[in-house]
Amino acid sequence: MSDTTMFELVSPERLLMSRDVSMVVVPGGEGFFGVLPRHSPLLSTLVPGVIDVYEDGTITDRIFVAGGFAEVTEDRCTVLAEEAVAVADLDVAATEQRVVDLRDELKDATGNEADRLTRRIAELETVVVAMKLAKGS
């Protein structure tokens, strides 16, 4: 048994990261959890937040995800995320702008479309809050 675990970060468009690390901390739906080698198998949802990748005791990567899923097995941790950005490259203003744009759209929308937009706006707003937290920490 090695003392590293395989960490995979997958977005719908491509495999973003796949390498052996000593630990990852992911923002699970029920709170952050760390994944070390030989972690018990787990499936979890993710909330918007930061994934910390540890190698040899130091954080080598900090990645922001806007929700997703994590699948943990004894030798592997797979994160499925629709949006994943390195914390350093986070653009809070752009996301805030998207919220503003969607609000504009919502003014003219009706019925189904309006429901959909309202939900999307709520989602994005939590993402913005999480982004700000990530930036600050």
Partner 1 sequence: MPSLKDLKLRINSVKSTQKITSAMKMVAAAKLRRAQEQAEAARPYSVRMDRMIASLAGKSSGVGGPKLLAGTGADDSHLLVVMTADRGLCGGFNTSIVRATRNRIRALELAGKKVRLICVGRKGKDQLRRDYASLITDSIEGITRKKVEFSSADEIGGRLLQMYENDEFDICTIIYNRFQSAMTQIVTEQQIIPASVPGVDEGADGAAGLYEYEPDEEGILAELLPRNVATQIFSALLENTASEHGARMSAMDSATRNAGEMIDKLTLTYNRTRQAFITKELIEIISGAEAL
DSSP single-letter state for residue 30:
T
Nearest residue to 46 via CA among 76, 62, 66: 66
Name the residue nearer to partner 1 (CB basis): 59 or 115.
115
Write the CB contacts of 39 (distance below 8 Å, at least 6 apart in sequence).
5, 72, 73, 74, 77
Of the residues 120, 121, 124, 125, which one makes contact with partner 1 according to CB under 8 A? 120
Residue 56: CB minimum distance to partner 1, A: 27
Distances in Å between the alpha carbon of 72 and those of 19, 35, 63, 92, 104?
15, 8, 18, 30, 40
Give yes or no for residue 108 binding partner 1 (CB under 8 A).
no
Q: In the range 46-105, which residues lie near partner 1 by CB under 8 A?
A: 69, 71, 73-74, 78, 80, 82
Binding site for partner 1 (CB under 8 A): 8, 10-15, 28-30, 33, 40-45, 69, 71, 73-74, 78, 80, 82, 112, 115-116, 120
